[in-house]
Amino acid sequence: MESRLALLDGQFQPQLTKFGINHFVHVPMAPADPILSLTTGFRNDKDPKKVNLGVGAYRDNAGKPYVFPIVKKCELEIVNDPTLDKEYAPIEGVADFIKGSQGVIFGWDAPILASGRVATCQALSGTGSLKIVADFLAKWRKAPIYMSKPTWANHTQIFQAAGLEVRDYTYYDAKTKGLDLDGMLRDLSNAQPGSIILLHGCAHNPTGVDPTNEQWHKIAQVMKENDLFPFFDQAYQGFASGDLSPKQCEQMIQKHHIYMTGNGRISIAGLTTANVDYVANAIKDVVDNY
Ligand SMILES: Cc1ncc(COP(=O)(O)O)c(C=O)c1O
């Protein structure tokens, strides 16, 4: 046992070549990730009142990770599916998964899918997808990429590491705590034609500020005029927008007795643990049926 431990220990010592050179001695320690180091602090905190608001992940009432029942159900189905044979997936990914992702993202009967104009590639998470896109763009469409000011911190590093020049465009107005649309449109019209523009599909990270439908149309117009190439990072689809239509809102009141304004805005302060499931089911009903 001891000799085994000594052997393992040897693996973790700096590896020197026969000339005594350590190939990686010059590599500096990466800075600590601010969110993950919060989690370490949280784990080590013994106070029973502790709460972790750093990571965007669901927790149950005991503060433990909450796994959606549908996720568990699907996991069981996968485990019990005799057709899944654990063979290598094709390079672009598993065909059914790709088809399913397209349906969720674009809408199951979206004309763009029917016309075969969408190319999809399965990747590992959002970060892995961004890495593939960044490498692809760096190889095949070398142009500056503009990012909103501010944007998700890793965007800059991923695209810079791929070799693209990263620039920014005005987005957040600290005074109004909203979108600086004029500033954004100005920067987009002054951007170098042909550039890539990174946009957040919804639930902009970190500001939470999204353009309205009308503002999106204006943004699209300027991008078209200036020959800019839109690239959407859609990390939070279904978490922020997708407002109920006026008709669906009406059904929420008439059919389910849930009172809300016709623009689809919901004040979650009105929810309790007793009625949250009822409201969720009512939303599902009006989305499915109206
Ligand atoms: C805007 C944005 N893009 C991509 C990601 C990365 O997603 P994932 O955690 O699936 O790698 C995140 C995660 O925080 C994000 O906020």
Residues 171 and 221 in one domain: yes
Q: How far is CA 190 from CA 168, 194, 228, in A?
A: 11, 11, 11
Residue 245: band (very low, low, confident or very high) from pLDDT cuts 50, 70, 90: confident
Q: Which residues contact 186 (CB under 8 A, 6 or more apart)?
A: 170
Nearest residue (CA) to ligand 1, atom 3: 235
Residues 133 and 210 in one domain: yes
The model scores a pTM over 0.85: no
Beta bridge partners of residue 198, listed in sequence order: 231
Looking at ligand 1, which atom is closest to the CA of residue 152?
A: 1
Residue 8 lies in a domain: no
Residues 163 and 195 in one domain: yes
Q: Among 265, 235, 202, which Cα is nearest to 56's?
A: 235
Looking at ligand 1, which atom is closest to the CA of residue 200?
A: 1
- Check which CATH number belongs to the domain holding 182 and give it: 3.40.640.10
Residues 132 and 178 in one domain: yes
Residue 285 lies in a domain: yes
According to the model, what pLDDT value does residue 13 have? 60
Retrieve residue 129's tokens: 């997808």
Residues 225 and 256 in one domain: no
Alpha carbon dihedral 177, 178, 181, 186, in 10-degree steps, equals 30
Looking at ligand 1, which atom is closest to the CA of residue 129?
A: 11
Instruction: Please give the distance, rounded to the nearest whole angstrom, from the Cα atom of residue 59 to the centre of ligand 1.
Output: 19
Residues 132 and 212 in one domain: yes
According to the model, what pLDDT value does residue 264 have? 80
Residue 80 lies in a domain: no
- What would the mean pLDDT of 65-94 be, rounded to a whole number? 93
Total number of domains constituting the chain: 2
According to the model, what pLDDT value does residue 93 have? 95
According to the model, what pLDDT value does residue 7 have? 67
Retrieve residue 176's tokens: 């109004």
Looking at ligand 1, which atom is closest to the CA of residue 151?
A: 1
Q: Which of 35, 127, 155, 198 to mutate to test the pocket of ligand 1 (most atoms within 8 A of CB)?
A: 127
Nearest residue (CA) to ligand 1, atom 2: 235
Instruction: Please give the distance, rounded to the nearest whole angstrom, from the Cα atom of residue 129 to the centre of ligand 1.
Output: 10
Q: Is residue 202 a contact partner of residue 240, using CB atoms and an 8 Å limit?
A: yes
- What would the mean pLDDT of 262-290 be, rounded to a whole number? 88
Which pLDDT tens digit goes with each residue over 105-147?
Answer: 999 999 999 999 999 999 999 999 999 999 999 999 989 999 9
Q: Among 252, 180, 251, which Cα is nearest to 219's?
A: 180
Q: How many other CB atoms are there within 10 angstroms of residue 154's CB atom?
A: 15
Q: How many other CB atoms are there within 10 angstroms of residue 273's CB atom?
A: 7
Residues 282 and 183 in one domain: no
Q: What's the mean per-residue pLDDT of the chain?
A: 90
Q: Is the pLDDT of residue 172 over 70?
A: yes
Q: List ligand 1's pocket residues with C-beta within 6 A.
A: 125-127, 152, 200, 205, 233, 235
Residues 201 and 224 in one domain: yes
Instruction: Please give the distance, rounded to the nearest whole angstrom, from the Cα atom of residue 9 to the centre of ligand 1.
Output: 36
DSSP string, the chain: -HHHHHHHHHHHSPPB-TT--BTTTTPPPPPPPHHHHHHHHHHH---TT----SS---B-TTS-B---HHHHHHHHHHHH-TT---PPPPTT--HHHHHHHHHHHH-TT-HHHHTT-------SHHHHHHHHHHHHHHHH----EEEEES--HHHHHHHHHTTPPEEEEE-EETTTTEE-HHHHHHHHHHSPTT-EEEEESSS-TTT-----HHHHHHHHHHHHHTT-EEEEE-TTTTTS--PPPHHHHHHHHHTT-----TT----GGG--TTTHHHHHHHHHHHHHH-
Burial 162-183 (b: 16+ CB within 10 A, else e): bebebbebbbbbeeeeebbbee
Containing domain of residue 253, as a range?
246-289
Beta bridge partners of residue 230, listed in sequence order: 197
Instruction: Please give the distance, rounded to the nearest whole angstrom, from the Cα atom of residue 31 to the centre of ligand 1.
Output: 19
Residue 242: band (very low, low, confident or very high) from pLDDT cuts 50, 70, 90: low
Residues 229 and 272 in one domain: no
Residue 261 lies in a domain: yes
